[in-house]
Structure 1
Amino acid sequence: MKEFVWAVSIICILLVFGVVLLKYLSENKKYKNSSYGKQSQKSFWKIISNQGARGEYRTSQIIDKAPFKNKMLFNCYIPNRSGDKTEIDMIMLCQKGIYVIENKNYSGWIFGNEKSKNWCETLKGKKYFFYNPIKQNRTTV
């Protein structure tokens, strides 16, 4: 009886591993065929293990499904007013105009307004402050 339980346990573990591997390979292929994956020099594993990059990829997936024709540029470095370089997460070019997108991959409750220097993420009773993304975008151009 012990041998049977042992064999069933091994089979279940192999099945779970196989399903996880197939899901990973499927998502990896989807990533490589996406606009973000074609431009990124990062592996799929680096994308899913980095909160910021994962958020950018998810946003790009939504934009890729948009009913209008567009061209996306990701992680562009441009000179700013002070002469330094600044990163723009996403630039979308389409018939309606040029859109600059600052992507944040936060959860919980987000508090802030256009004039606030910092916004606050409240998650599980803890507060985390981050620079206002509207002001961040204004400093890039």
Structure 2
Amino acid sequence: MVFSFLFNKKKHSSKETNITPNPKSTESNKDNQQWANRKGELGEYKVNIQLDQFPKNYLHHSDLLLKNDKSSTGYSQIDHVIITPYGIFVIETKNYQGTIYGGKDRKTWLINGKFKMMNPLLQNYGHIQGIKNNVNEKYYNNFISIVSFTKRCTLKLDEELRKINSNQLVVYDIELTEFINRKMAVLKLQNKEPLLSNEDINLIYNTLANENIIDPLIRKQHVDNINSHKATNNNLHKCSICQKPVSDKVKAFCLSNKKFEGKIYCFEHQKKF
């Protein structure tokens, strides 16, 4: 079956010319984590399918891991980048469920008005900086940041993040192709000639392919460092048993309740005490 193929395919290096690497996957012994990974893989695969539909001289990479000294882990992991004659689109994919509230300049966004998440535009800014570290500075003004959410969520964002004249866009995954094409049309009107030649596109593509880190140990350490950072982030609280995120109010309640002995529990596991 198609879905069985998607979830079991082997990962390829993005260094293979004109071959887009398969989506990221993370091994886990927990069924719920495996399902979460599969949903993420499917979301990224859907983006890959859309990027494959663009002209052949529009080159793209998926799942790049680049050195970035300014990142907390020392690396930047980029979901997708597509290099076109009129811009370099750097795409961060998200697979949240619920209502997403946020704005361009807010450090954190909210899921369902309760749970905090890092502003994905700030996250993608770091990814763009990681790419800039590896390409000629003459390309620095050609970047467009896009954050793609699945339709499992509802976006409640600043209007400017949905306006095509912005270089920071937030879209649903099913409309990614439409937004890239619309942005390209605007850029073509603003510039009589392409900003990047085919030679430029190939140079950037090959440079990123050569700098992409495919060592599985380094990639695992990068993921572990991210998870460790999240665990120590004061804005993120999880149930001590099931690791389900809980709100600040639940955290405060648990810490003030002596029977929980300083541990945090979700509503379900509070009932066991």
Q: Unaligned stretches of 5+ in structure 2?
A: 26-33, 130-273
**Structure 1 counterpart of 2:118:** 131
Aligned to 1:115: 105
2:107/2:119 contact within 8 Å kept: yes
Please state which structure has a larger fraction of its residues in strand.
1
Contact kept? 1:47, 1:54, Cα under 8 Å: no
Percent identity over the alignment is: 28
For residues 130 and 67 of structure 1, do their structure 2 counterparts lie closer, same or farther at Cα, with a shift above 3 Å needed? same
- Which of 77, 97, 105 in structure 1 is aligned with 2:87? 97
For residues 47 and 40 of structure 2, what CA distance do their matches in structure 1 show? 11
Residue of structure 1 in register with 2:52 after alignment: 64
TM-score, length-scaled by structure 2: 0.33
Q: Which of 8, 21, 35 is residue 39 of structure 1 equivalent to?
A: 21
Q: CA deviation at 1:134?
A: 0.7
Change (3 A) 1:38 1:60: closer
Change (3 A) 1:66 1:48: farther
CA contact (8 A) 1:77 1:85 kept: yes
TM-score normalised by L of structure 1: 0.60
1:87 maps to 77
What is the rounded CA distance, in whole Å, between the counterparts of 2:38 and 2:116 in structure 1?
A: 19
Deviation at 1:79, TM superposition (A): 2.0
Q: Deviations over 1:35-62 (max 9, x none)?
A: x98512868xx79853332221122222
For the 8 Å contact 1:102–1:137, the answer to whether it is kept is yes
- Give the aligned residue type for 1:64: D
Shift in Å, 1:93: 1.1
Q: Deviations over 1:72-106 (max 9, x none)?
A: 20111112242711111111112222111111112
**CA-based RMSD:** 3.3
Q: Which amino acid aligns with 1:114?
A: K
